[in-house]
Amino acid sequence: MRRFGYMDYISVPKQKVEVFVNAYVRSVYNWMFIGLALTGLIAFYTSTSTALLKVLFGNPFMFWGIFIAELAIVWVISSRIDRLSSATATLLYVIYSVLNGLILSLIFLRYTGSSIAGTFFICSVTFLACSIYGWVTKKDLTSFGGFLIMGVIGIIIATIVNIFLKSSALNMAISYIGVFIFIGLTAYDTQKIKNMALSQPDGLEAGVIRKGAILGALALYLDFINLFLFLLRILGGRRD
């Protein structure tokens, strides 16, 4: 099997290329929406179940175990996609979406339903606009990728530091910076997915295409979730 990734473009009729690209990108967004829907449903259901909340957050080892499992799944999909079957990659993505829903049940306990809904709408519109920009722009966004990833690392470090400082000003600064970083990453990842679709040779195996779709869906899913969470920290109304 040929290694998955950016491949040498093989000239095929333009109409055939467009059909393939549209189908590929549609698959990416379909899987992203499936992941978001699973996460949202699991998060809401968990927030209404006292028994589940007690199991998840009554034992810190359970919470951190889920968190570590999420990191491991993202690492496996992102760095070991070549070695996974399409079925395994899909299953891992679904499991990740479910686990993330368990963790994100906290937002339904911390924020009002109306502020969650309002923030989700704002996030969706923002994400759509950035994704469209990433798709249609002629500007090569590749050079921004490294800068944005460094920004994510900076946010993680600042967040860890603020656990000890407990600074509300720093927390708000992190939130605003996070919004701008994930706005940029949404456009960057969208262009990357477009380029990946255009680089696929005709007749590529369906399983390899599925793995590419899952990898792209995971990137956009993470962009959307993080953008939503940072916006919620800025706009969300907390429960009394």
pLDDT at 166 over 70: yes
Closest alpha carbon to 16 in 157, 198, 177:
198
pLDDT at 1 over 50: no
- pLDDT number for residue 116: 96
Tell me what percent of the residues of the chain surpass a pLDDT of 90: 75
- pLDDT number for residue 16: 65
The pLDDT of 169-195, averaged and rounded, is 95
Check: pTM over 0.85? Answer yes or no. Answer: yes
The pLDDT of 158-181, averaged and rounded, is 94
Greatest alpha-carbon pair distance for the chain in Å reads: 61
- pLDDT number for residue 10: 40
The pLDDT of 152-174, averaged and rounded, is 94
Whole-Å CA distances, 208 to 2, 23, 103, 215, 220: 9, 14, 31, 11, 19
- pLDDT number for residue 24: 87
At residue 75, what is the residue type?
Answer: W
The pLDDT of 85-104, averaged and rounded, is 96
Confidence of residue 20 (pLDDT cuts 50, 70, 90): confident
The pLDDT of 43-54, averaged and rounded, is 95
**Cβ distance 131 to 186 under 8 Å?**
yes
Q: Which of 30-34, 119-123, 143-147 has the lowest mean pLDDT?
A: 143-147
Distance CA 189, CA 197 (A): 12
- Torsions phi, psi of 117, nearest 5? -65, -45
Distance CA 11, CA 133 (A): 26
Please write the tens of the pLDDT for every residue from 192-209. Answer: 999 888 876 555 566 778
**Cβ distance 111 to 236 under 8 Å?**
yes
**Cβ distance 109 to 50 under 8 Å?**
no
